Chain A
Amino acid sequence: MQKLIASVVSRLVISVPYLWMVIFFLIPFIIVFKISLSQVTMAIPPYTPTIDVAAGWQAMVNSISQFSWDNYAFLASDPLYYKAYLSSVVIAGISTFLTLLVGYPIAYGMARAPATVRSTLLMLVILPFWTSFLIRVYAWIGILKPEGLLNQFLIWANVIDTPLNILNTNTAVLIGIVYSYLPFLVLPIYSTLEKMDYSLVEAAEDLGCPPITAFWKITFPLSMPGVVAGCFLVFIPAVGEFVIPDLLGGSETLMIGKTLWNEFSANRDWPLSSAVAVVLLALLVVPIVLFQRAEAKAQESEK
């Protein structure tokens, strides 16, 4: 009897996250998917067909029979969309690489700092989260605009004569993404580096490695689980990023999040924007699965 209760309880506990995923991910996804198969119309809600359970079985079957793949066919026919997807992936890829370039040394420095200051440094990395993401991105407008802080400083320091045009370019988008997602990359790398036994590096030096070689042969390969986790944590949300390209990017900036937003709000084309979202999700499933695998592998090797 006690065993039975225990097994019921353990199943209940396990079912909580699954239930969460069903309510907040699977059901919304099904709704979005359903809308993506509909047609745009001037109505509330702005698509047809709608499924009205009260209208009876036959009406529901009629509605479902009107579903079509037209929106997906349209996505495939208009080069704007695949260009936007491609450009999102490229911008996300470049910014992930730049974030790694900036974040790795930070994580390394933190992990090698004296234990007494480590928690303070960790705090400093997390500190920006205390301010709204939106406000922080807005702040970058103030820094990057032609008469902004950066240009004022560079002119004052006699580095440049005329203000640099950074705001409303892809460069600004990259800066924004690198800045916003930096903690997501620093934290997993820091945690792998901090756990690493420093005597491994000493052993490598003892066996004839100069410090730089020891870093590339020992420290970096051993921090790979953190690097992979951090890169995916930056790359996946960056692909669908909407706020940063909208605020910092210009007309040349083509990112799928922005396209989706335009379809949804300006064009009021819910079915097409749903199709864009479903395709984006399908695209991101690939790196998410890779990420999961890398995580599982990292956990396996720790055993």
Chain B
Amino acid sequence: MKSLGSFRRKFAPWNDPEAKPYISFENVTKKFGDFTAVDDLSLTIYNREFFALLGASGCGKSTLLRMLAGFEEPTAGRILLDGQDLRGIPPYKRPVNMMFQSYALFPHMTVEGNIAFGLKQDGMPANEIAARVAEMLKLVKLEQFAKRKPHQLSGGQRQRVALARCVAKRPKVLLLDEPLGALDKKLREETQFELMDLQMKLGLTFVVVTHDQEEAMTMADRIAVMDKGKVKQVATPAEVYEAPNSKFVADFIGNVNMFEGTVSTVVPGKVDIDIPADKITIRTDATRECSSGQTVGFAIRPEKIRLSRKEPANTSVNAARGELYDIAYFGDMTVFHVRLESGRIIKAASLNAVRTVEDPLGYDDMVWVNFDTDAGILLTA
């Protein structure tokens, strides 16, 4: 397989067979009555990794985080942190700290009091506490707000107090439950980068739970895509996006055109898929084992599809003609909805790299869509 984009930094212990996992979930199951929140799940997270648990609400990602924090005990399986089995260790004795979705700042204490809270529990001497609190306030740029109460702060400031409070104890692992969920879009984008900086600076392991895929893709080294208590795929953001391992992941992450068809011929390195419903044949790189007659899926991202008025050189495979049905203009890019003769809508995106285009595509224009053999993903699961 070709390289799937460059990694954010040269950090990939998951590719190193010698690397020892820092956190491992081993066949962990968690049941609430009849409901299985986490289903026989195994997962490893490495030291200093920024790891994201991504999924829709109710997929079990928060339960996983709460089990790591100690608020829930697994029904079966075990969780290891730095080689130590966490079973039976109460939350207040675990070397992890959690940032709550609601921030859970103590309303009757000042910003200082909140940050010092965990340190006092550890019996740290008063002068060291004062120094650490000052350091934390500086880290999150809230020096002048030390004496304020949480209700006198803005949402973004509260978020930073919550962060400072759980970082203050220098935990082995920082757990973040929807850390940016309560912030508005602009602040969220800024804060994403602040969180990444902070994680680099402190050299901590971060496990973040989010339902926002953009957030996960921006911040995380690796993402675990979860559904119904199971992990569907664990991979880098680029891999999850460009090489999803299943229809679920392909569909869940980003925008995608999904096809289903039958394998007609397998030539070395290439697979032809017949899509009878749309009367097209797709030829794609044989990235997965499959045999003739097998039903397979094919996913292709809108930005990997070309649109043209001119008929492409080869119309026998990976090409179809349709009318422009809808145009969604986003400024930086435009998404075109093309309706094929079969009635099927294909989404194609193009980057608006120049400010003005001569004779732009308009509504009801007849256009050709086509793509290369390496543009899409062959899916057998």
Contacts and interface: CB of A to CB of B under 8 A. Distances in A.
A207 B69 contact: no
Contacts of A205: 70-71, 90-92
Given A199-B102, A199-B104, A221-B108, A208 B169 contact: yes
A206 B167 CA distance: 12
B107 A206 contact: no
A182 B166 CA distance: 40
B92 A206 contact: yes
Contact of A213 (B71, B98, B102, B121): B121
A161 interface: no
Interface in B105-129: 106-108, 117-118, 121-122
A206 B91 contact: yes
B151 A301 contact: yes
A206 B102 contact: no
A207 B117 contact: yes
B69 A206 contact: yes
A207 B91 CA distance: 8
Interface residues on B, range: 20 to 34
Interface string A199-218: 11011111111100100011
B100 interface: yes
A207 B165 contact: yes
Most chain B CB within a 10 A radius of its CB, from A205, A206, A303 = A206
Contacts of A222: 107-108
B65 to A, nearest CB: 11
B97 interface: yes
A78 interface: no
Contacts of B121: 207-209, 213
B107 A301 contact: yes
Contact of A203 (B104, B108, B122, B169): B104
Most chain A CB within a 10 A radius of its CB, from B91, B122, B151, B169 = B91
Contacts, number: 61
Interface string B158-172: 000000011001000
Given A199-B100, A202-B100, A208 B92 contact: yes
Given A207-B169, A210-B92, A218 B102 contact: no
A252 interface: no
Interface in B67-109: 69-71, 90-93, 96-98, 100-102, 104, 106-108
Contacts of B151: 301, 303
A52 interface: no
Contacts of B108: 221-222
Most chain A CB within a 10 A radius of its CB, from B101, B104, B122 = B104
Interface residues on A, range: 10 to 19
Contacts of B69: 202, 206
A141 to B, nearest CB: 44
Contact of A202 (B93, B104, B166): B104
Nearest to A207: B118
Nearest to A203: B104
Contacts of B70: 205-206
Most chain A CB within a 10 A radius of its CB, from B90, B96, B106, B151 = B106
A197 B101 CA distance: 12
A210 B91 CA distance: 8
A205 B107 CA distance: 16
A222 B118 CA distance: 18
Interface string A270-303: 0000000000000000000000000000000101
A210 B70 CA distance: 12
A204 B69 CA distance: 12
Contacts of A202: 69, 71, 91, 98, 100, 104
Nearest to B177: A199
B136 to A, nearest CB: 13
Contact of A197 (B92, B97, B102, B165): B102
B98 A206 contact: yes
Contacts of B102: 197, 199
Given A206-B98, A209-B92, A303-B151, 17 more contacts: A199-B101, A199-B104, A200-B106, A202-B69, A202-B98, A203-B98, A203-B100, A206-B91, A206-B97, A206-B166, A207-B92, A208-B93, A208-B121, A208-B122, A209-B121, A210-B90, A222-B108
Interface of B: 69-71, 90-93, 96-98, 100-102, 104, 106-108, 117-118, 121-122, 151, 165-166, 169
27 contacts: A197-B102, A197-B104, A199-B101, A199-B102, A200-B106, A200-B107, A202-B69, A202-B91, A202-B100, A203-B98, A203-B106, A204-B106, A205-B90, A206-B69, A206-B70, A206-B97, A206-B166, A207-B117, A207-B165, A208-B92, A208-B93, A209-B121, A213-B121, A217-B117, A222-B108, A301-B107, A303-B151
